[in-house]
Structure 1
């Protein structure tokens, strides 16, 4: 979608920081009608710019104290689709990327403890036959966490 104007950008910026902001509040902020906000958001949804309206959770407050990134080397490039399907069934895998370079797949995993990470890695991820090897990086903290600047 190439014709995103100033109002669209303002709406996206507000929703990126506060998904609960009402249409009426945004209309007042931008000096337009509530109907205009509704139409613009619907247009952005239909264009695929807005894919879903979600909330951000603080994983640590929910007991998920270990964030790790795991680089996966596949046995064969053609195994990608099957491995992704199997990774989708592992609840602790919260993101996956198809990458260039050393790894074919790079995933983000959240667990409650290092012991749980070890179990997920050895019993679930490394148990996938099409995976040749993995490398795990544990995140110490997440000092920058934001949506893209629109």
Structure 2
């Protein structure tokens, strides 16, 4: 990847529906060259998916919580990961260092639903304990690579 690829990536991170014809003048390349660079990033697995950002509260998901999970033994890790991947209420499952083995991000429409999610997690074989942190407000929700990472980069 070179600095032009990073510029294209930055533009697509802001709006993945941006057309190559709009990107072209910003990176001083032809439309076909931009398309080829995007396809190359897709082939190389750099661009993995084009998606949307949804306002979960407007869809009725008023509760967001992070759940720290501690497992009894490492032999339960694979099963835990498999089960949480199948739980639609779990948005993220990260294996972490520190006090917990995993941190989950879950969404619920009400406290009753969150309680059900809690019970589901506790029923997973090997779960020793969980600790829940309720999100009071969302101060930053950015999934983009920081723009300054792209500056002066040329390989």
TM over 0.5: yes
Match of 1:119 in 2: 116
TM-score, normalized by length of structure 1?
Answer: 0.92
Q: What is the number of residues matched between the two proteins? A: 146
**Higher relative contact order at CA 8 Å, sep ≥6: structure 1 or structure 2?**
2
Match among 102, 126, 133 for residue 130 of structure 1 = 126
1:42 correspondence with 2:42: no
For the residue of structure 1 that corresponds to 2:123, the secondary structure is coil
Query: Equivalent of 1:21, from 14, 18, 21?
Result: 18
8 Å contact 2:62–2:110 — kept in the other structure? Answer: yes
- Give the equivalent residue in structure 1 for 2:153: none
- TM-score normalised by the chain length of structure 2: 0.89
- Contact 1:24 / 1:34 at 8 angstroms: preserved in 2? yes
Structure 2 unmatched ranges of 5 or more:
150-155
Deviations 1:63-119 (A, max 9, x none): 111111001000111110001111112110011111111111111101111221111
Q: Root-mean-square deviation (CA), in Å? A: 1.1
